[in-house]
Each structure stands twice: as structure tokens, then as C-alpha cells.
Amino acid sequence: MCKTLSVAAALVIGLCLQSSFVSAEEPQSDHRNVLMKLKLSVPENQKDREYLGIKNSSGKMSLAQIRAEVLIIEIFSMYCPHCQKHAPTANKLYHAIDSRKEFRDKIKYIGIGVGNSKYEVGIFKQKYSPPFPLFDDGAYTIANSLSGIGTPHYVGIRTDNGSKFEVFYSKSGGFTDAEEFLNMIVKESGIQRGGSR
């Protein structure tokens, strides 16, 4: 078990080292295809299910089931020192969204722990107290399917409550100002304050 954990940690640290906090990439069609097919475990926490608008209490869910016009995904790892350092700023992003009532119900934010088991994601959640739902990706589905990503990596998806699935943003590295990042997401997604675009 320790050997497996060490190998897993090494792979994730490799992903983390790819992240320079300045490397950018254009959204790619493979991101859309992979993320559309991705299946995650339905959160056990009722508050998380309510936040995401998920009605079933167990089983698997797709990202398209999340009730939002825009979905922000942080791909992280509990082993990544950049992710650990960035966690307080990531939490500020959630609070920035939640504090703006015009976007509170339109923009949702989740984290996916690449190469992390449910237990490892739980450790990260306990230590850094992210107020947004976290999911495990212990099978490396994202890392094995998407090339050129490091951790943390942010993806912005325009979903319009499941009627579309458009990746409009994809970049490895964190951000320093949560409000500035949120304003960029609003602009890039084309989401409107008063309704859909």
C-alpha cells in the first residue's frame, strides 16, 4: 500500500510540477469530450447536493446534471504544494461568487482531486476547508485523458443548466485575485447579470 501511495504521489507531483502559475492554453475540444463523459460520485453531503441541484442521493452524476449556467472546475491534488498554497485564494473565489446575488445561482464551483482517493480528498477538505464540493478522481481519468495540464488547473464550462456544454476557459496555474478572476469568468462565458445570453 505504501508503494502504491508513493507511485500515486509521484505521478500527481509530476502533474503539479507542470504547473507554473503562468502557463496558459486555449480550451481544447478534447477537454469538452472528456468532461462531458466524466462520471463522478454523487456527494454524500446533502448541502453539496442542494448547492449543485442534484436530486439523487447516491450513484454517479455527470457535470451536465449540475444546475448552473456556468461551471468552474478546479483540478487539484492534495499532494500538490501549489494547490495547498492556493487553497485560501480558491476559497475566496467561492465567497466572491456567493456574495454576488446576480451570479450566486448561475455560477457553481467544484474541485476534482486528480489521482486522489475519496480519503485523500477528505484530508484536503479537512485541512483547507473549501466551502465548495470536492470530488475524487482516483482513477486519473482526467490526467490520463487530457494532455498538458498541471495542478491546479481551472476549466470554465458554459452549461446553461444542461442545455449546452461549452468549454470557454482552460488554464493551468492559480490566480491571485478572486474578484478579478470571477470578473474574467463572467466576461469570457458571456453570462448576463439579468438572464441568459
User: Domain of 17: which CATH number?
Assistant: 3.40.30.10
Contacts of range 50-53, beta carbons closer than 8 Å, 24 or more positions apart: 51/108, 51/132, 51/133, 52/108, 52/110, 52/133
Q: How big is the CA angle at 41 (ends 5 and 85), to the nearest 5 degrees?
A: 55
* Residue 184, domain member (yes or no): yes
**How many domains, the chain?**
1
Cβ-proximal residues to 190 (8 Å cutoff; 6+ apart), any chain:
158, 168, 197
pLDDT at 73: 97
pLDDT at 24: 40
- Phi-psi sector, 194: left (phi>0), alpha (psi -120 to 50), beta: alpha
* Residue 58, domain member (yes or no): yes
State the chain's maximal CA–CA distance in angstroms.
53
* Residue 138, domain member (yes or no): yes
* Residue 195, domain member (yes or no): no
What range does the domain containing 63 cover? 2-189
pLDDT by position in tens, the chain (length 197): 333 334 444 444 444 544 433 334 444 557 888 898 899 999 999 999 999 999 988 999 999 999 999 999 999 999 999 999 999 999 999 999 999 999 999 999 999 999 999 999 999 999 999 999 999 998 888 877 777 788 999 999 999 988 899 999 999 999 999 999 999 999 999 997 654 44
Q: Kindly write down the DSSP assignment for every residue of 20-64, as one continuous string.
A: -SS-B----HHHHHHHHH-EEEPPS-HHHHHHHT---SSSEEEGG
pLDDT at 32: 86
* Residue 197, domain member (yes or no): no
Where do the H-state alpha helices sit in 38-177?
Answer: 46-52, 81-98, 101-104, 118-128, 141-145
* Residue 196, domain member (yes or no): no
**Which cell numbers in the block locate residue 88?**
485560501
pLDDT at 49: 97
* Residue 44, domain member (yes or no): yes
* Residue 53, domain member (yes or no): yes
